[in-house]
């Protein structure tokens, strides 16, 4: 066995072990930790499969952002956790859940194993037409040119998710500041980090967004890094999230998807199909759409973590 295949085997075994542990552990917090570690290992697996775009997204969104959201949820559940874990579901219910999970896993396994070899792929066709779009990164081309409708719906879904989080607010603080106000010692190590890291993080985030046209990267990954920098400043008490009733905030939240829809509809007139780009303008329009989606995504991702409004806005 070669070194590479040994490493791949170890990685696969670790992934299965962490996944099993995440499911088996009784403590919510430990399960979240397992989930984050699982996501990071999974992104290493994607790197070893040469799917750098997927690895970046997995590390940023799958493990990072979802991990933070789950940690917040676990912290909220802590007071009721003892009562919840004392109350075990009955044996028939647990067997039923196990049977349903095994059936789903089995169905997926049969589906994957019965794929013809080589699996059907459109990758050569995408690569062949890549020059006509003007992009160097095939993943970005697929996301914004061939499967534009998916990306459009994705960018709308995250805004809906944010509205869902906001709608958990009690009436009296509706329109107020999200989450509790963070107070930290201005001389603390966290405040120091929140001053040192954002300049670096903002440059890296914008670079990853910009380079997405030709190399692995893109708006989602860049937006996660930028949102993380904003959240760091919020946690250190150096910045506060805006009240959710601010007009500029609401405009920015819908501006990205609206511009995407507008350009998509304009494609019906100029290129003959909705979400098609006129000849020669594809790269420009894709970058415009991505640039408009970036602020939407940064705000959405950061405010998702900041949570539902808990403090009233100043009159």
Partner 1 sequence: MSVFLDIFTVAAVSAGAFFFLAGIVGLLRFPDTLSRLHALTKADNLGLGLPRAGGLLAALKLVVVWLLVLLASAMVSQMVARVARRGGSPS
Pick 49 or 196: Cβ nearer partner 1: 196
Contact between 189 and partner 1 per CB under 8 A: yes
**In the bound complex, what is the minimum distance in angstroms from residue 195's beta carbon to partner 1?**
12
Contact between 196 and partner 1 per CB under 8 A: yes
Contact between 14 and partner 1 per CB under 8 A: no
Site size toward partner 1 (CB under 8 A) is 7
Q: Find out whether the peptide bond into 192 is cis, omega within 30 degrees of 0.
A: no
Pick 34 or 134: Cβ nearer partner 1: 34
Binds partner 1 (CB under 8 A): choice among 193, 238, 266, 276? 193
Contact between 157 and partner 1 per CB under 8 A: no
Pick 77 or 105: Cβ nearer partner 1: 77
Stretch that binds partner 1, among 184-192, 267-275, 285-293, 303-311 (CB under 8 A): 184-192
Long-range (24+ apart) CB contacts under 8 A made by 14-22 are: 14/41, 15/41, 15/42, 15/45
Stretch that binds partner 1, among 129-137, 169-177, 191-199, 300-308 (CB under 8 A): 191-199
The residues of the shown chain that bind partner 1, judged by CB under 8 A, are: 189-190, 192-193, 196-197, 200
């Amino acid at each position: 066995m070669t070194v590479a295949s040994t490493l791949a085997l170890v990685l696969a075994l670790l992934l299965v072990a962490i996944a099993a542990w995440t499911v088996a552990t009784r403590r919510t917090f430990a399960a979240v930790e397992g989930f984050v570690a699982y996501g990071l290992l999974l992104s290493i697996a994607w790197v070893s499969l040469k799917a750098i775009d997927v690895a970046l997204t997995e590390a940023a969104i799958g493990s990072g952002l979802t991990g933070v959201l789950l940690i917040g949820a676990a912290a909220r559940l802590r007071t009721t956790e003892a009562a919840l874990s004392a109350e075990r579901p009955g044996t028939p219910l647990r067997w039923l859940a196990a049977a349903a999970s095994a059936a789903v896993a089995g169905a997926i396994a049969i589906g994957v194993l019965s794929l013809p070899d080589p699996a059907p792929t459109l990758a050569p066709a995408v690569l062949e037409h890549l020059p006509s779009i003007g992009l160097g990164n095939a993943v970005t081309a697929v996301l914004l040119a061939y499967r534009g409708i998916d990306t459009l719906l994705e960018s709308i879904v995250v805004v809906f998710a944010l509205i869902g989080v906001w709608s958990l607010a009690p009436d009296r603080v509706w329109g107020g500041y999200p989450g509790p106000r963070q107070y930290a010692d201005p001389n603390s190590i966290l405040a120091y980090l929140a001053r040192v890291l954002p300049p670096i993080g903002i440059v890296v985030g914008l670079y990853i967004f910009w380079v997405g046209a030709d190399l692995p990267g893109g708006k989602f990954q860049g937006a996660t890094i930028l949102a993380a920098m904003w959240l760091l400043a919020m946690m250190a008490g150096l910045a506060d999230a805006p009240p959710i009733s601010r007009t500029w905030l609401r405009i920015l939240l819908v501006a990205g998807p609206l511009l995407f829809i507008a350009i998509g509809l304009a494609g019906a007139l100029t290129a003959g199909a909705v979400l098609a780009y006129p000849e020669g303008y594809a790269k420009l329009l894709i970058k415009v759409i991505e640039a408009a989606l970036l602020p939407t995504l940064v705000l959405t991702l950061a405010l998702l973590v900041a949570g539902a409004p808990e403090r009233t806005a100043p009159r």
